[in-house]
Amino acid sequence: MNPLILLKNAAQNGDVNKLYQAIAKDSNVLEHYDKTPFAETPLHIATSRGHINFALEIMRLKPSLSKKLDEQGWSPMHAALQHNQTSMVYRLIETDPTLVGVKGREGFTPLHYVVQNDGVNLLREFLAVSPHSVMDTTNKGKTALHIAVEKGNTRALEALLSFLARSWYREALYWEEKVVNWKDENGFTVLHVAVTMNDIQVVKSLLKSKINVNAKSLEGLTVLDIVDRADNNPDMKDVLIQAGAKHSDVMKTNNINAIPSMKQVSFEPKPTLLDNVIRFLKG
């Protein structure tokens, strides 16, 4: 039997013995997938079917396949999520936490996927093993926060906001401020999105964070401008005004449309009190 066909059958059935039979027939059989820009690999097949032992064996033999995209633009981790193989997902991130941030089709990462589908337990696990993944954006410049609000997934949003608020990294306050105020391709912060969707509860949640209530979109609109345009939610307007929201025509224009950069964020742990004492004693 052709080694590639044998390998595919092995992946479909999670048969490690057949995997090695394929390798015995052609020691370069796994190299075939490295040479192909986009391909459904044995790892895609195994992760989508929940064959954990087989998947981990492939990752051990050929780590590069764990980040290979198939013809639809998805990684093996995406495949596992799409087929609800939760146990597989946990083992994958245990083996390689960086898989949380692999960008697939349109820049969607596994983190974006679980936020979109309100998978709060997986979301918390992803953030725990890969905290920097909260900064990843899609091709349209959307963060996980944008996606959570657009999909109406309030549990995911609360988990993200809680994570940002309690993160204990160097420059954590700077980090939180940058993420919650990130602008998408239209210059919309997550607050712009919530106001556009007329979701007053989400707006109230966001106002408890370090959100800039007077950020302008690329069109030059503040959230108060958007509320006035809709003219259908006086309660929303009152909440925003109490939070300090203003119309664009009274805002200063200095750097108001600047889209922030996340490149400066450091993920090294903050020095503890003991660290600072030791540093002081050492001069």
- pLDDT tens-digit readout, 68-100: 999 999 999 999 999 999 999 999 999 999 999
Q: Which residues make Cβ contacts (< 8 Å) with residue 176, sequence separation at least 6? A: 164, 165, 167, 209, 210
- CA-nearest of 60, 53, 58, 117 to 83 is 117
User: In the numeric block, which tokens belong to residue 144?
Assistant: 């996980």
pLDDT band at residue 169 using 50, 70 and 90 as cut-offs: low
pLDDT of residue 165: 87
87 C-beta neighbours (distance < 10 Å), count: 10
For the chain, what percent of residues have pLDDT higher than 70?
A: 86
Q: Using the structure block, give the residue that is written with the tokens 């006086």.
A: 234
Write the CA distances from 37 to 22, 68, 101, 107, 110, integer angstroms: 22, 8, 19, 17, 20
* Average pLDDT of the chain, as a whole number: 89
User: b/e per residue, 132-165, with b = 16+ CB within 10 A?
Assistant: bbbbbbbeebbbbbbbbbbeebeebbebbbebbe
How many Å apart are CA 225 and CA 229, to the nearest integer?
6
- pLDDT tens-digit readout, 51-61: 999 999 999 99
pLDDT of residue 118: 84
| Angle CA 217–221–225, to nearest 5 | 145
- φ, ψ for residue 188, nearest 5 deg: -85, 125
How many Å apart are CA 144 and CA 157, to the nearest integer?
8
How many Å apart are CA 168 and CA 272, to the nearest integer?
10
- Which CATH superfamily is 103-245 part of? Ankyrin repeat-containing domain (1.25.40.20)
pLDDT of residue 252: 59
- pLDDT tens-digit readout, 104-133: 999 999 999 999 998 899 999 999 999 989
- pLDDT tens-digit readout, 16-31: 999 999 999 999 999 9
On the question of pLDDT at 254 being above 60, the answer is: no
Helix (H, G, I), strand (E, B) or coil at 134: helix
- CA-nearest of 22, 37, 35, 81 to 13 is 22
- pLDDT tens-digit readout, 208-239: 999 999 999 999 999 999 999 887 789 999 99
Helix (H, G, I), strand (E, B) or coil at 169: strand
- φ, ψ for residue 162, nearest 5 deg: -65, -40
Write the CA distances from 208 to 9, 70, 161, integer angstroms: 53, 41, 9
**Is the Cβ–Cβ distance between 170 and 214 less than 8 Å?**
no
Question: Domain extents for the chain?
Answer: 1-83, 103-245
Domains 1-83 and 103-245 share a fold: yes
H or E segment and range at residue 208: none
User: In the numeric block, which tokens belong to residue 28?
Assistant: 């370069």
Write the CA distances from 73 to 135, 200, 227, integer angstroms: 21, 36, 38
pLDDT of residue 261: 47
User: Could you tell me which residues are beta bridge partners of residue 169?
Assistant: 269
User: Distance from first CA to last CA of the chain, Å, rounded?
Assistant: 71
pLDDT band at residue 171 using 50, 70 and 90 as cut-offs: low
What's the CATH class of domain 1-83?
Answer: mainly alpha
